[in-house]
Structure 1
């Protein structure tokens, strides 16, 4: 057992999780699936208990002046509890990645080589107000054979405590070891200990706003899978169909503004004749536009001057998560790629075009976890990709990139089988 003496706040929980991880990595799929079903049933049966805890959290957050959008993320009701329970049941239907053979061969000397998926071990997850993440993260970790160390926000601590109590009781009755799901204290010191727990915790995944993610990446001694900010762009090429461009841009910006795959910047080629149509559609939808000189000039000609404010460098780098959008007129596709390279976060980038050469140049030239062609950035999602649930969207380049589903919560082991082979 790794030393946990330097972790006074999380040490006992981390030690239980470490012991549980050794058991979880060997559990058959049937046992894990039975636990997931039991956890889902328990959430439904004990909904009143969860909602009572949540009501207290929401009341306290409202009294503290928490913005309405954050209160909505925090708030649970019967349908939302049923939804997170259904998410656990959906995990049952997904393939178990543990034990999958990624590749294999027989070497010239007769040795049999297999690269096999194995759990990561103890996964620490640091996240903000959404209590549904508590259930999603626990379920994903368990299905992939990992122990979960959950550190949610202080505003949701009562709700998370109730949720974890329900989940752990059901999971342990179904045969999972004590420590499979652990909730850490919701204070800043516990995050520091988690990030310092190298050798006890195998990986940390931050899920939340820019400041949270940056702190974890900057301070962690534990390997981090970085789920990222979503400063996503839509580039409209001169070859684009006007109706398609309008539909994609509107959906990417307005479908749900508070999520990481919402588009924040619109880049339009100078030769696109229907920019006024795009601006008008966004304004009609209630979007505040932050435009460069070319956009402001076009807006003036179209009678939309009052709806556009001058953009600054801060606008190009901002993940608004609101009904705001930066708009820039670019001279050509290379300039659009340069803009994305400077200001993008590597999350999702989209092109609307009919030109095969423009599409090929964009998909080859842009550096992002997901590149969308004639489709909204809102499709960057594990569920939409058919992967089932996800823990977040990874914007880094090592281990996993894009939606973090079950396979991405595993590593691999090489199993080498011989018949008395010795090396000369």
Structure 2
């Protein structure tokens, strides 16, 4: 019976055949241990010389790393393995013998591994990270579909920017100027006026010349937008969504988290509600922690976010940032016009901001004033203004950075390991 490693638990005591690649092997004169992978998981195959024809044992013993093969054998339980099963091999059939595979079991430098990203993805830890990424995506669709959201796909090529033009990739769209999208938010606001609750999931691009462990040039965003939802309710939606993601990863990625050595006890604490502090209180907290140079009106950098997060064992919302350092579309606090109804959600353990969101301006006159202040005179923005002209309603939304969320839940240090083929400041290959 042909099957996969992921389904071996369904075939204990049976003889099966899997297509696989040889990760590594060790052998003696009488037994060969084959470390196998097939894309769905990892398992050990045991070849006992006395139990198989001589040519089968010699084939198994002499195979090289990343050789592709068909393996036939009996599935047995193995309590010593974290996977729980192994294959007692009766036959191996080489499909393609690999030679001089560049990523050997020894230590390699980061640049070497990134140059060989197309092969590095085959490793057990990188595989685990991608499985966690996949689970976050699956759970995202589950959460929003179960809560009545419609998925809408905003364009990647746009004639306007969401938050300014300084960090955009410019391109020619025939005779017009165009940009690669840095956010689908403006379009999602239009969609919310048609469908009430919507979400998007797609690539975004920032031409930001940053080399930090938190930044990518191309990354993926989940961006919900909700009509008739104000700031406080939006925060509840965000914390329930994050709680759902964490619970799903803990439930469905146990082996992947174990492979990565993730401290799941910390993740188990991540349940709604999350703590909330205002920007004002965050400034006070930072000064107490020795950040004497931080002044009201300045944005927070990575060290500031990390210091704030250290005071909590869950993600923390920082709310009511100064209007001057936030985007033009954010609604001012009705009781205090110098701050806006917004929040950044800061992940624990130094992973920084994973969500940015706000209640949007719904008043036409105020939005026209913001257009003047931000010099948004281009006709490309007219359609966005009209959302306030024809049946405007209170509405809110947020954006979650997928790669930062993957980094946090999987416990990896750098976001370059959280996307299959990262685009960094000095990396466009492979």
Same fold (TM over 0.5): no
Q: Per residue, is there more helix in 1 or in 2?
A: 1
TM-score, normalization: structure 2? 0.27
Q: More relative contact order in 1 or in 2 (CA 8 Å, sep 6+)?
A: 1
